Amino acid sequence: MKTLIKNGLVVDPANLVQTHLNLLLEDGKIVAVTEEEPEADRVIDAAGKVVAPGFIDIHMHEDPVKDDKIQFCIFDAMLRMGVTTAVGGNCGINVYDPVKYLDLLERDGAPVNVMMFAGHQYYREAAGALDKYSPVTEEQRKMMKKGLEEALEAGCVGISYGLRYVPGTGREEFLDTASCCQKEHRLISAHVRDDEERVFGAVAEVAEAGKIFDIPVEISHIGSMAGFGQMEQLLKQVDGYRMNGMDITCDCYPYFAFSTRIGATTYDDGWLERYHCDYDACQLMEGKYKGQRCTPETFAEMRRDFPECLTVCYVMDQKDIRMAFSDPGVMLGSDGLIDNGQGHPRAAGSFPKFFADFVRDGSISLYDGIAKMTSIPAKRLGLADKGRLNVGADADVVVFDPEKIRDGATFDDPMLPPFGIDYVLIGGEIAAKDCRIVKGDLGTAIRKRS
């Protein structure tokens, strides 16, 4: 089946292209990019629309597995917002053995293509270290390294850390596990150990591993780490590393509120002073107080009785988030996390919201915005045939209306689909049309091979 996408504005930063051209797709690949109108079985008229490589979400959290099947929900949301490749297993967390997860994706297909990080915390717990505040034994560390090495061998893209969530992780444990990435030059991504004024030292800790082992480093969701007045200094710090030879980049999601579980260390004593807020900055997204802002009493009760309860905390500085996105070294990553259909709207809204709030108001150009979700993450992940639209590239394409694209998801209803995305194609097939899924199994596992 040949598909022609004609008359659209092709924006392809990987190839330094922004111009009107026609794309011909066949057998999963882009087979022609031309001013002609070649014969095709199906024609998509993209007049007035933007034609971009399928978006790549470098930071999200995968759907759970039940009865040997992935319970697709967040990956559906990814597809509806134009994402064709998503990276799970972030912040040190896997919902399931990531190697088996890749197998399930391959066996059953998925709404989008998926890469996986091997999560440090997952392998820590698998080694029997269940106390997040305590260090691991030498025996446990060996087990963790063995598991992580096997995961990298099986095609996980790298190792993720959520040092904030596992305070017992000492320097030796961190560096020793990170060393697993050295052999194949794999990526480490880190939700760093601390935020606000202590973010600088926390980023330095992770950068040290990049320097020692000469491996690439990704600093996760910097808006929720340094979005409290520290952004300018943090970006300078990271620029400094890069100018001194380190391969380091950051990602950020386009919201001014973060989301985590109420039992997380984020809410350990001192959080009110740290984020300069009161209890009502925290909204409960699940359970009997669903939708309500916390009081000192409900906060204490839920932290004790329902520590898994997802919350949203409205504490970030808009200026800092804008500053992050204006930096060329910062990509868009949704950090999407959904539990039983509940959570933060970033899972279903990040990409369209970015166009609506940051591109349409002129603060970031269309070209630079698309680069943050195509060419830059593709390069970061070593994806040679994705995040680009040249002849020979994978036919993962998104067609959207630059004037109409916007998020639909809200804090009250975080799974609502977006608007203004006409087509999402994976491997040349139509996966979503008008923000509704047409075919939800066109994606597969992408295994990292050295």
Binding site for Zn ion (CB under 5 A): 91, 191
Q: Identify which of residues 90 and 237 has a Cβ nearer to Zn ion in the complex.
A: 90
Least distance between Zn ion and beta carbon 337 (Å): 8
CB contact at 8 A, 236 and 210: no
Q: Identify which of residues 191 and 303 has a Cβ nearer to Zn ion in the complex.
A: 191
Q: Identify which of residues 120 and 186 has a Cβ nearer to Zn ion in the complex.
A: 120
Least distance between Zn ion and beta carbon 221 (Å): 6
Q: Identify which of residues 10 and 163 has a Cβ nearer to Zn ion in the complex.
A: 163
Least distance between Zn ion and beta carbon 14 (Å): 27
Determine the Cα–Cα distance for residues 95 and 113; give it in Å rounded to an integer.
Answer: 17
Determine the Cα–Cα distance for residues 17 and 382; give it in Å rounded to an integer.
Answer: 20
Beta bridge partners of 55: 83
Least distance between Zn ion and beta carbon 335 (Å): 6
Q: Identify which of residues 5 and 91 has a Cβ nearer to Zn ion in the complex.
A: 91
141 CA to centre of own chain? 27
Least distance between Zn ion and beta carbon 173 (Å): 18
Q: Identify which of residues 274 and 404 has a Cβ nearer to Zn ion in the complex.
A: 274
Least distance between Zn ion and beta carbon 440 (Å): 27
Least distance between Zn ion and beta carbon 149 (Å): 23
Q: Identify which of residues 284 and 337 has a Cβ nearer to Zn ion in the complex.
A: 337
Q: Identify which of residues 117 and 355 has a Cβ nearer to Zn ion in the complex.
A: 117
Least distance between Zn ion and beta carbon 380 (Å): 17
Q: Identify which of residues 91 and 136 has a Cβ nearer to Zn ion in the complex.
A: 91
Least distance between Zn ion and beta carbon 445 (Å): 22
